Amino acid sequence: MTGNDSVVLRVAGRPVGRYVTRPELPARLSPRPYLHPVTTLAGTAVTELSPADHAHHLGVGVAVPDVEGFNFWGGRTYVRDRGPTELDNHGSQRHTAYQLRDPDGFVEELRWVAAPGELLRERRTVAATELTGTAWALDLTFSLTNITSAPLSLGSPATNGRPGAAYGGFFWRARKEDTAPDVFTADAEGEGAVHGRPADWLALAGSTWTLVFAGVTAPTRRDPWFVRTAEYPGVGSSLAHGARLPVPPGETVVRRVVTVVADGRLGRDEAAALVRKAVSA
């Protein structure tokens, strides 16, 4: 562990991730806590922070581009019939307190705040677990509660008119290398075949590392995956794929994603076996 502004996650005594609690970021990046760097057990970095292609991509975290019209993703906002537009509509996620802090994880309370005030209250649980001598699992659960007296809804560029851009929710900006990573599920391969579709698990394989993402709960597994490999390497869930996701007053949206972080390039059988172990851990 470190001071109040960051937490170091450890697996078997080895640091594998730093969680930055109160980042100093410009408003247009939608300031929020994030995990970076995240590494394999051998020390290979598998995240990027504010890369040149998307300055608002912040390692691993939770981000939503449209919460009742407010941008908690960062960057431009996709406006129907106008396209990506610079708007003064950015929100921020503000760390309130840690309910629990251990070397292998934490439970955190956050406030999602925009111009009208606090819109959502979040409880985020993060845990790191050793799987093998070359793989560990990052277990991230987020619960978003509408604390206002009015209905809220979560949207994406896709629900605002941009096909194929249903990002929003859990998001992992992976390490960019000279060659784009491979991506596959249990029965499909390639960005075009896996993007925008649900799958029990999805693997992203770089030069010397593999990430395997799995939804643990039924609602999480129903969310299609958002996948990029050619433009940049990134994987996330789609809370608002075909339609906006309503969050009535007092109601809570909960999602849980477990990510296997492995050294080496895994095949389908290896990825599936590690996911089974991670989910049952």
Per-residue pLDDT of 263-277, as tens digits, reads: 999 999 999 999 999
Q: Which residues pair with 141 in a beta bridge?
A: 125, 256
Distance CA 183, CA 206 (A): 9
Half-sphere exposure for 60 (CA within 13 Å, toward CB): 27
Per-residue confidence (pLDDT) for residue 196, from 0 to 100: 98
Per-residue confidence (pLDDT) for residue 5, from 0 to 100: 82
Tell me: domain 6-280, CATH 3.40.50, correct? no
Distant-in-sequence, close-in-space partners of 278: CB < 8 Å, separation ≥ 6: 129, 131, 137, 139, 212, 214, 258, 260
Distance CA 22, CA 6 (A): 8
The DSSP call for residue 176 is P
**Which sequence spans correspond to the domains of the chain?**
6-280
Q: What is the pLDDT of residues 196-222, one digit of tens each?
A: 999 999 999 999 999 999 999 999 999
Q: Which residues pair with 172 in a beta bridge?
A: 60, 235
Per-residue confidence (pLDDT) for residue 3, from 0 to 100: 44
pLDDT value at 127 more than 60: yes
pLDDT value at 92 more than 70: yes
Q: Which residues pair with 94 in a beta bridge?
A: 111
pLDDT value at 154 more than 90: yes
Q: What is the pLDDT of residues 48-73, one digit of tens each?
A: 999 999 999 999 999 999 999 999 99
Per-residue confidence (pLDDT) for residue 4, from 0 to 100: 53
pLDDT value at 1 more than 90: no
Look up the pTM and report it.
0.97
Per-residue confidence (pLDDT) for residue 212, from 0 to 100: 98
At 281, is the pLDDT very low, low, confident or very high (cuts 50, 70, 90)? confident
Q: What is the pLDDT of residues 176-190, one digit of tens each?
A: 999 999 999 999 999
Mean of the per-residue pLDDT values of the chain = 96
DSSP-based three-state secondary structure for 92: strand
Query: What percent of the chain lies above the pLDDT cut of 70?
Result: 99
